[in-house]
């Protein structure tokens, strides 16, 4: 089971992913609980009939507030193995029969963008679940597609429970940039790219004009930048210092910092390019628009 999302900058200072039996949370086979309060560490535990067992603590923190993540939970006969952002993190030996687990519950200071399950359906296949919700519940019947969203969680099939605060916003996403752009203003956009993605775009707009168009295209292995004024596109910019910084199926964070002559753009903490302003009235650039083949986890303007 792979969970993609981002850690929020504020909130309860912890989040959890629980592999549990039933809805009430009284029986949790594996409680994975990163905590930022009183030091940064990760707690693992099991709950039997409402009572917690002894904690196992990993005194390392592979997560950063405000940053995207990918957690892969690999189920083995003896234990869960946990891989965070592609790196092995910990092993948790079973204290409860994993065959009884029928629920995943996620809550706390995270935004979940999507979850992938590897399930057996006439063979082993990989299956991508965008996060959508009805009354806080996503029904995941492994025996039938597409997803069904019932008014109340059924008890007969496996399902996914996601706290409503963890759900990602729908696309296309639009929001105002209060006060427009000005030097040193930063805009952050983070999310996860769908495994079958073709392209997505981030636009900074001035009325009907697009002051800055950021358009990763996976079929062309390019990141296109441009400006549209009076419905006419200018000349494209495509050059990058290295390889394509975005990858299908991976999380990303784009940071756009406004400078006097240009926008400075970093992806996952690495500077990629500068984009000289083509619309000079920066204060008039007051809208952000995100669309395309991604799941959006966080926007900060």
Please tell me the predicted confidence (pLDDT) of residue 22: 80
Q: How many of the other CB atoms lie within 10 Å of CB of 141? A: 15
Please tell me the predicted confidence (pLDDT) of residue 167: 52
- pTM assigned to the model: 0.52
254 band by pLDDT with thresholds 50, 70 and 90: very high
Residue closest to 195 by CA, chosen among 125, 242, 140: 125
Separation CA 295–CA 193 (nearest Å): 6
- 8 Å CB contact between 44 and 58: yes
Separation CA 62–CA 261 (nearest Å): 36
Burial code (b: 16+ CB inside 10 Å, e: under 16) for 248-280 equals ebbbbbbbbbbeeeebbbbbbeeebbebebebe
Residue closest to 33 by CA, chosen among 25, 42, 24, 45: 42
Domains of the chain by range and CATH? 2-166 (2.60.120.200), 173-300 (2.60.120.200)
Please tell me the predicted confidence (pLDDT) of residue 118: 60
User: How many CA atoms are closer than 13 Å to the CA of 152, on its beta-carbon side?
Assistant: 2
Tell whether the model's pLDDT for residue 159 goes beyond 60: no
Please tell me the predicted confidence (pLDDT) of residue 90: 94
Q: How many of the other CB atoms lie within 10 Å of CB of 3? A: 21
pLDDT tens for each residue of 110-132 = 877 667 766 443 333 333 343 33
Query: What are the tokens at 294?
Result: 């991604």
pLDDT tens for each residue of 30-71 = 999 999 988 899 999 999 999 999 999 999 999 998 888 889
Separation CA 197–CA 230 (nearest Å): 29
């Amino acid at each position: 089971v792979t969970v993609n999302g981002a850690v929020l900058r504020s909130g309860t200072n912890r989040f959890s992913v629980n592999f549990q039996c039933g809805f009430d949370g009284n029986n949790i086979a594996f409680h994975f609980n990163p905590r930022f309060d009183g030091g940064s560490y990760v707690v693992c535990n099991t709950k039997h009939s409402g009572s917690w067992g002894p904690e196992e603590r990993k005194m390392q923190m592979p997560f950063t507030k405000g940053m995207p993540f990918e957690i892969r939970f690999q189920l083995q006969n003896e234990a869960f193995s946990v891989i965070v952002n592609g790196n092995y993190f910990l092993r948790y030996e079973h204290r409860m029969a994993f065959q009884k687990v029928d629920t995943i519950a996620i809550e706390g200071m995270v935004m979940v963008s999507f979850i992938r399950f590897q399930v057996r359906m006439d063979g082993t296949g990989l299956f991508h679940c965008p996060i959508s919700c009805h009354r806080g519940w996503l029904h995941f019947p492994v025996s039938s597609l597409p997803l069904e969203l019932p008014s109340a969680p059924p008890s007969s099939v496996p399902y996914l429970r996601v706290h409503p605060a963890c759900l990602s916003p729908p696309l296309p996403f639009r929001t105002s940039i209060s006060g427009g752009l000005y030097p040193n203003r930063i805009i952050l956009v983070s999310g996860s790219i769908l495994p079958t993605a073709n392209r997505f775009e981030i636009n900074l707009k001035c009325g009907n004009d697009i002051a800055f168009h950021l358009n990763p295209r996976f079929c062309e292995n390019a990141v296109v930048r441009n400006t549209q004024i009076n419905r006419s596109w200018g000349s494209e910019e495509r050059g990058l210092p290295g390889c394509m910084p975005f990858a299908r199926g991976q999380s990303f964070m784009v940071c756009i910092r406004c400078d006097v002559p240009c926008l400075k753009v970093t992806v996952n903490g690495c500077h990629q390019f500068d984009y000289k302003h083509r619309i000079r009235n920066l204060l008039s650039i007051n809208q952000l628009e995100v669309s395309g083949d991604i799941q959006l986890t966080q926007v900060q303007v």
